[in-house]
Amino acid sequence: MTESRPAAVIILAAGEGKRMKSSTPKVLHAIAGRSLIGHVLEAASAVDPAHVVVVVGHGRDQVLAHLEEVAPWADTVVQEEQHGTGHAVRIAMGALIAEHAFTPGPVIVLSGDTPLLTGQTVAALVEAHTSSHAAATLLSAVLDDPSGYGRVVRDSHGAVEAIVEHRDADASILDIAEINAGMYVFDSAELMPALDRIGSDNDQGEQYLTDVVGILRAQSHPVSAVRVPDSAEILGVNDRVQLAEAAQIMRDRINDRWMRSGVSMLDPTTTWIDVDVDLEADVTLLPQTSLLGPTTVASMARIGPGTTLTSCEVGEGAVVIHTWANLAVIGPRASVGPFTYLRPGARIGVDAKAGAFVEMKNAELGDGAKVPHLSYVGDAEIGAGTNIGAATIFVNYDGQQKHRAIVGKHARVGSDTMIVAPVTIGDGAYTAAGSVVTEDVPPGAMAVGRARQRNIDGWVERRRPGTASAQAAAEHDAGETDSGATDR
Ligand code: UD1
Ligand code: CA
């Protein structure tokens, strides 16, 4: 049935979204790593429309820039002044006909602020519209609390007769629990003349798209309604409370899908996964873990608790505990954390380890190499099998420029070494604990870059007499003498 391919989807997004109290246009607020309008565009693409046109108005510069980035294939039209949903659709139809070689057919109208709408529901709406031969088909829902919404008024045969906005409704209409979700399919041939007949004689003085329903019925065109199976789908985001509500529902949907495909989650209510994340079966996610951006996690990896990974790649069987990472690659069976900070360009090799209180940036840790404790590794390359002692710092910044350091394979860098870049420590080389390494260390050499220790005997008793330290030293000396006497 090629004729059922929608001629266009029109997405209304010109409204101000005042109740968000935000400098960001409402439809650009995000849940699960995608803007509200991005979610609607995704649902719209499911029915493969010939055109998608977004009506923009308030905050148009930001909205247009965003659309250019996430949906360059979508057309846009500016509604300079917002005279209502009917006005917005008329402008969109005008643009489609004038600029986009529009061919008549089913036209879907959606709102830019309903991120939970699914592609399946849009497809079901189109399917119902095509098979019923109605001039218009709207999506409705039965709500416990229908206040604020337009009510679906049916005649004695149960056919849709009109939609009456809440603020224009009398008491008997306010009793109707079936509401208009604000998502429709129209036949373009019937829609165009009906749009021209919309008035603005209502409480808001606006041109209501919903009036098209009464106009079509008055001309004996059939209008049908499809009830959405899950009323969460039509949740419109008008304020930050609804934004959080939508985010939770989206989180649960995403988590359910991953659990059903083999991912374990100890606490799905504190596990947040963006829409672009990809997980293999047998991944385990521990509480308070967020996987954001296009993060991927391979099988048998265990992430969390308390971990946030943004745009990271995690290999098979890796373990990542209490970690904050962005644009990092964690190799198969690697171990990261607890309390590890991986910044862009950190690459942890196979079986490698970045341990507690380690920060890495633009640095590669070779296969089986370890940075177990308290280190900063910036702009460095560490060879396979090398061990970096506790509290080693890669000194990459001279105050003006960043420099790179290289440590070869199977090297042993002593604890608290300062590796002052640019510098190279050769394969199999050692550094003495506490060294400041400023010159290259040849393969197999031991670098000692620190002052030799000298002990000044009796200094404390002479220079800090009467202190607890002096007393402790004196007691120790006495003990040595006593035990020496009895032992002998
Ligand atoms: C609309 C419906 C109502 C339905 C509800 C569902 C009308 C008259 N009423 O009411 O029956 O129950 O949606 O959520 O349509 N917009 C524009 N340009 C405009 C006006 C609005 O682009 O001139 C956009 C808004 O940004 C928003 C959408 O259209 O995305 C809906 O407009 P809104 O004013 O929120 O309509 P509601 O009062 O919610
Ligand atoms: Ca609304």
Q: Could you report the per-residue pLDDT of 137-186, keeping only the tens digit for each?
A: 999 999 999 999 999 999 999 999 999 999 999 999 999 999 999 999 99
CA torsion, points 425, 426, 429, 433, in degrees to nearest 10?
A: 0
Nearest CA to 318 out of 294, 351, 274 is that of 351
- DSSP 8-state secondary structure symbol assigned to residue 421: S
One of 3.40.50.2000, 3.40.50.720, 3.30.1510.10, 3.90.550.10 is the CATH number of 8-234, namely 3.90.550.10
| pLDDT tens digits along 139-148 | 999 999 999 9
| Phi-psi region at 368: left, alpha or beta (left = phi > 0; alpha = psi -120 to 50) | left
Question: Does residue 112 line the site of ligand 1, with CB under 6 A?
Answer: yes
pLDDT at 1: 40
- DSSP 8-state secondary structure symbol assigned to residue 385: T
Select the more confidently predicted residue: 33 or 5.
33
What is the spatial distance between Cα 303 and Cα 14, in angstroms, rounded to a whole number? 41
The answer to whether residue 398 scores a pLDDT higher than 90 is: yes
H runs (alpha helix) in 79-118 = 85-99
Q: Where in the chain is the domain with CATH 2.160.10.10?
A: 258-447
- DSSP 8-state secondary structure symbol assigned to residue 277: -
**How sure is the predictor about 2, in pLDDT bands with cuts at 50, 70 and 90?**
very low
Provide mean pLDDT across the span 394-422.
Answer: 98
Ion ligand 2: residues, CB < 5 A: 236
The answer to whether residue 345 scores a pLDDT higher than 50 is: yes
Q: Which residue carries 């991005």 as its tokens?
A: 38
- Cα radius of gyration rounded to whole Å, the chain: 33
Nearest CA to 206 out of 91, 86, 77 is that of 86
| pLDDT tens digits along 264-306 | 999 999 999 999 999 999 999 999 999 999 999 999 999 999 9
The answer to whether residue 7 scores a pLDDT higher than 70 is: yes
| pLDDT tens digits along 80-119 | 999 999 999 999 999 999 988 899 999 999 999 999 999 9
- Please indicate, yes or no, whether the overall pTM of this predicted structure exceeds 0.75: yes
Question: Does residue 179 line the site of ligand 1, with CB under 6 A?
Answer: yes
What is the spatial distance between Cα 169 and Cα 93, in angstroms, rounded to a whole number? 29
- The residue annotated as part of the active site, out of 58, 100, 166, 373, is 373
pLDDT at 484: 52
pLDDT at 147: 92
Average pLDDT, the chain: 96
Candidate of 111, 142, 204 to mutate for ligand 1, largest count of ligand atoms within 8 Å of Cβ? 111
CA distance between the termini of the chain: 107
The answer to whether residue 3 scores a pLDDT higher than 90 is: no
Write the class of the CATH domain 258-447.
mainly beta
User: What does the block give as tokens for 258?
Assistant: 């991953």
Q: How far is the CA of 11 from the centre of ligand 1 (A)?
A: 11
**Nearest-atom index, ligand 1, CA of 58:** 26
What is the spatial distance between Cα 310 and Cα 328, in angstroms, rounded to a whole number? 8
**Nearest-atom index, ligand 1, CA of 111:** 30
What distance separates the 2 farthest-apart alpha carbons in the chain?
121
pLDDT at 480: 83
Decide if 288 contacts 306 (C-beta within 8 A).
yes
Q: Which residues pair with 484 in a beta bridge?
A: none
User: What does the block give as tokens for 286?
Assistant: 């521990």
